[in-house]
């Protein structure tokens, strides 16, 4: 993909065309980054995708089930360890996942500190607002949960090629037709992204100066309209191409998976971890360990 585009769009990012272009380029770059890591030789990359999907998704569910901070933070730590062992650059992870989650959820969680009923913990001088222990705990629940689940789910896609994720989904009894649709959707996201990018780049070269709001809205809606028309044409062509190779409505796929002993081991490992975390997460007594109230 064309790297100069993003630099250019950042330089004069002012109009919605530029902003959209930047967004489109970022998405493709991010996908490329993921594909690179999925090819690295790390712990998670070596596992059977089915084990990874089942294991990491169970951990995500465990985090949401957990009723104490200790467990959530432990699973978060586990996620970080898995990331390191799988050669996921922690700096990238921190920037792309942790910081952005912190900004978003952190901003949402701040007022919680003051408005949650509970024991006063701290009174902010000057404005006189009171932080309650329950407020603080609640804010921590939210942010730690979001960070932990975001880390685990990003590990799944970073350490598994998309095609393996798809095949692994079949194991969760997702119907074939749905898995095929997912695969084709992902495929055509890139085609349509590229079409959109070309369209916006062409548009940018034709536009000089600022447009008024009506004109801009006109162009934005028109662009979506063009893309819709092209998508409609694309779907028709794809349909013909599928038919041409014998597609008659039902899809057949090759499932090629081999469970090695290390996959069974990993599965057992995940089972133990998930079991332990579920049990820990139910322990009310642990709440006093980190809770401030």
Partner 1 sequence: MELAATKYAFELADVTYRYDEITALDGLSLQIESGRRIAVLGANGSGKSTLLRLLDGLYFPDKGTIKSFGEPLTEEAMQDEEFAFAFRRRVALVFQNPDVQLFNPTVFDEVAFGPLQLRWEKSDIRRRIDETLESLEISHLKDRSPHRLSGGEKKRVALASVLILEPEVLLMDEPTAALDPKSRGHVIDFLADRSNAARTVITATHDLDIIEDIADHCLVFENGRLAADGTPSAILADHDLLERTNLIHAHRHRHPDGSFHTHPHAHRFHEHDHEHK
Partner 2 sequence: MHIPDGYLSPETCAVLYAAAAPFWVVALRRIKRLLNTRMVPLLSVFAAFSFVIMMFNIPLPGGTTGHAIGVGIAAVVLGPWGSMLAISVALLIQALFFGDGGITAFGANSFNMAIVGSLVATAVYRVVGRGAEITATRRVAAAGLAGYAAINAAAFLASIEFGIQPLLFHDASGAPLYAPYPLAIAIPAMMIGHLTIAGIAELIAAGGVVAYLQRSNPSLLKFTAPDAPELDSTRVRTPRSMRPLWIGLAALMILTPLGLLAAGTAWGEWSANDLADPAAREHITTVSQGQAPPSAPPEGLARLSEIWTAPIPDYAPAFLSSPAVGYVLSAMFGSGLVILVTTFVGWLFGRRREKLTTTTPIE
Report in angstroms the alpha-carbon separations of 138 from 116, 133, 284: 8, 8, 15
For residue 68, state whether it binds partner 2 (rule: CB under 8 A). Answer: yes
Shortest distance, position 41 Cβ to partner 1, whole Å = 15
Window of 111-119, 150-158, 203-211, 237-245 that interacts with partner 1 by CB under 8 A: 237-245
| By the rule CB under 8 A, 88 interacts with partner 2 | no
Determine if 78 is a binding residue for partner 2 (CB under 8 A). Answer: no
CA angle, 188 then 189 then 191, to 5°: 60
Q: Which one of partner 2, partner 1, none is in contact with 284 (Cβ closer than 5 to 8 A by kind)?
A: partner 2
Q: Is residue 33 near partner 2 by the rule CB under 8 A?
A: no
Using rule CB under 8 A, residue 19 touches partner 2: yes
Please name the residue ranges forming H helices in the chain.
4-11, 16-39, 49-65, 69-85, 90-93, 100-115, 133-158, 162-171, 176-206, 213-244, 261-282, 287-290
User: Between residues 133 and 193, which has the closer beta carbon with respect to partner 1?
Assistant: 193
Q: Is 198 in the site for partner 2 (CB under 8 A)?
A: no
Residue 245 interacts with partner 1 (CB under 8 A): yes or no: yes
- 246 forms part of the interface with partner 2 (CB under 8 A): no
**Nearer Cβ to partner 2 (116/171):** 116
- Residues 47 and 82: their CA atoms lie apart, in Å, by 12
Task: Specify the stretch interacting with partner 2 by CB under 8 A; choose among 4-12, 15-23, 40-48, 254-262.
Answer: 15-23
- How far apart (Å, rounded) are the C-alpha atoms in residues 262 and 42? 13
Count how many Cα atoms sit within 13 Å of the Cα of residue 288 in the half-sphere of its side chain.
2
Using CB under 8 A as the criterion, what x/- string covers residues 37-66 for binding partner 1?
Answer: ------------------------------
Closest among 293, 292, 290 to 74, alpha carbons compared: 290
Among residues 66, 27, 11, 47, which one has the least CA distance to residue 165? Answer: 47
Query: With CB cut-offs between 5 and 8 Å by kind, which of partner 1, partner 2, none does residue 139 bind?
Result: partner 2
Of 12, 213, 252, 285, the one binding partner 1 (CB under 8 A) is 252
Site for partner 1 in 173-192 (CB under 8 A): 183-184, 186-188, 190-191
- Radius of gyration of the chain from Cα atoms? 24
The size of the chain, in residues, is: 293
CA distances from 117 to 8, 120, 145 (A): 50, 9, 21
The token pair that represents 284 in the structure block? 């009310």
Answer with the entry of partner 1, partner 2, none that 118 interacts with (C-beta below 5 to 8 A by kind). Answer: partner 2
Restricted to residues 135-154, the positions that interact with partner 1 (CB under 8 A) are none
Give the interface with partner 1 as residue ranges (CB under 8 A): 35, 161-163, 166, 183-184, 186-188, 190-191, 234, 237-238, 240-248, 251-254
């Amino acid at each position: 993909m064309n790297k100069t585009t993003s630099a250019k769009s950042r330089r004069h990012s002012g109009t919605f065309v530029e902003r959209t272009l930047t967004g489109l380029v970022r998405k493709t770059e991010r996908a490329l980054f993921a594909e690179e890591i999925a090819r690295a030789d790390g712990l998670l990359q070596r596992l059977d995708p089915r084990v990874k999907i089942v294991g990491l998704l169970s951990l995500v569910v465990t985090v949401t089930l957990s009723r104490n901070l200790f467990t959530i933070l432990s699973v978060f730590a586990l996620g970080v360890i898995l990331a390191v062992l799988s050669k996921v650059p922690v700096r990238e992870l921190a920037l792309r996942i942790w910081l952005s989650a912190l900004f978003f959820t952190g901003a949402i969680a701040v007022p919680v500190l003051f408005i949650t009923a509970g024991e006063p913990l701290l009174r902010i001088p000057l404005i006189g607002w009171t932080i309650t222990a329950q407020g603080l705990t609640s804010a921590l629940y939210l942010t730690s949960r979001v960070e932990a689940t975001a880390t685990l789910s990003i590990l799944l896609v970073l350490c598994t090629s998309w095609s393996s994720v798809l095949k692994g989904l079949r194991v969760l009894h997702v119907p074939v037709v749905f898995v095929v649709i997912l695969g084709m959707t992902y495929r055509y996201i890139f085609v349509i992204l590229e079409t959109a990018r070309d369209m916006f780049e062409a548009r940018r070269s034709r536009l000089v100066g600022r447009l008024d709001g009506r004109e801009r809205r006109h162009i934005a809606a028109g662009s979506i309209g063009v893309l819709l028309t092209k998508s409609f044409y694309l779907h028709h062509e794809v349909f013909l191409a599928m038919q041409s190779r014998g597609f008659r409505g039902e899809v057949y796929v090759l499932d090629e998976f081999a469970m090695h002993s290390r996959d069974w081991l990993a599965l057992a490992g995940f089972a133990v971890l998930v079991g332990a975390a579920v049990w820990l997460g139910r322990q009310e007594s642990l709440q006093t360990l980190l809770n401030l109230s």
